[in-house]
Amino acid sequence: MSNAVLTVTESAAKRIAELTATEAPGFMLRVAVSGGGCSGYQYGFTLDDAVNPDDKLFGPEGAKVVIDETSLDLMGGAQIDFVEELVGASFTISNPLAKANCGCGNSFAL
């Protein structure tokens, strides 16, 4: 069982709360790590209303992030943020376990 921690910035919490309030009431942001991408592993983001037995919840009330233990083990100590730039807006992850990241920020290597 993972004891890893995931933090959610104020900006990410605000965006999650906006998304779930307007598009998917009662849902949470699910973050998952899967094999693939240009660096070996890639992050995935979906809205989900289910919490599975191996899931952990993070974030303030109204802006919950759910992640399975296997993904959390690959992201322990990571921070989820939401950034708005001229080229677009997206969730980003700062993962202290990543040894390398691709240019798009959605793929990493351990």
Distance CA 37, CA 49 (A): 26
Does residue 91 surpass a pLDDT of 80? Answer: yes
Domain spanning 7-102: which superfamily? HesB-like domain (2.60.300.12)
Condensed to tens digits (0 to 9), the pLDDT of residues 51-77 reads: 999 999 999 888 999 999 999 998 889
Show me where the domains of the chain are located: 7-102
CA distance 92 to 12: 9
The encoded tokens of residue 63 equal 């802006």
Residue 82 pairs in a beta bridge with 91
Model pTM greater than 0.75? Answer: yes
Each residue's pLDDT tens digit, 5-53: 899 999 999 999 999 998 888 899 999 998 876 667 888 999 999 999 9
